[in-house]
Amino acid sequence: MQQERLLKVLVIGDLGVGKTSIIKRYVHQIFSQHYRATVGVDFALKLLNWDHKTVVRLQLWDIAGQERYGNMTRVYYREAVGALVIFDMTRASTFQAVLKWKGDLDSKVALGNGRPVPAVLLGNKCDQLSTGLCSKLPKLENFTRDHGFVGWYETSAKDNINIDAAIMCLVESIMAVE
């Protein structure tokens, strides 16, 4: 008999890092250069045939970057079982914000057993490799481990690089906990 699992996953990170673009690429296979800031929160759903007896309903919560300064995240984070934490590889300030987002997450939501929810780190816009932080990135291996992420990926919503891999990594860790 088929069983269904509903997974609430948060997509967080500073303004303009590409959260909405990553979700649009993953769910609808589309990309737009046009930037329209998310207001509050948006939702998307993707169905995954996980194994022969399990369908995963992946509910992606696209949280506006500006919400870091608001006080709604406690409400949005409730019942989440995992998170994608995103920064923009071309803007150092968005990388510095990663730990603020991770801290906000861990202070407001946890698994039933009290452990932090699994989180994967995404360095997005890796198609713009000539600019920005890339020379500093080998250190991310340590950064990821030290700050409790289950993995990290360089991604591009524009060129469809590593989006599926990053989300699969997250879903696998979520499914492994329970």
Report the interface residues with ligand GTP, using CB under 6 A.
Answer: 15-21, 32-33, 35, 37-38, 64-65, 124-125, 127-128, 156-158
- Applying the rule CB under 5 A, the residues between 21 and 60 that interact with Mg ion are 38
Strand duo 82-88 + 41-51: pairing? unpaired
Minimum Å distance from CB 51 to ligand GTP? Answer: 30
Element (H, E) at 122: strand 119-124
User: How far from chain centre, in Å, is Cα 122?
Assistant: 7
| Nearer Cβ to ligand GTP (17/174) | 17
Take residue 4 and report the two structure tokens written for it: 């269904």
Minimum Å distance from CB 173 to ligand GTP? Answer: 22
Please report whether residue 173 would count as binding Mg ion according to CB under 5 A: no
Q: Decide which of ligand GTP, Mg ion, none touches 16; Cβ closer than 5 to 8 Å per partner kind.
A: ligand GTP
| Nearer Cβ to ligand GTP (36/139) | 36
Rounded to whole angstroms, how far apart are CA atoms 132 and 168? 27
Rounded to whole angstroms, how far apart are CA atoms 133 and 111? 33
Rounded to whole angstroms, how far apart are CA atoms 22 and 150? 19
Please report whether residue 94 would count as binding Mg ion according to CB under 5 A: no
Residues whose CB falls within 8 Å of the CB of residue 7, separated by 6 or more in sequence, listed in order: 56, 57, 58, 59, 81, 82, 171, 174
| Nearer Cβ to ligand GTP (9/157) | 157
User: How far from chain centre, in Å, is Cα 2?
Assistant: 28
Please report whether residue 20 would count as binding Mg ion according to CB under 5 A: yes
Minimum Å distance from CB 144 to Mg ion? Answer: 24
Q: Decide which of Mg ion, ligand GTP, none touches 109; Cβ closer than 5 to 8 Å per partner kind.
A: none
Which DSSP string corresponds to 145-162? HHTT-SEEEE-BTTTTBS
Minimum Å distance from CB 50 to ligand GTP? Answer: 27
Minimum Å distance from CB 83 to ligand GTP? Answer: 14
Contacting residues toward Mg ion, per CB under 5 A = 19-20, 38
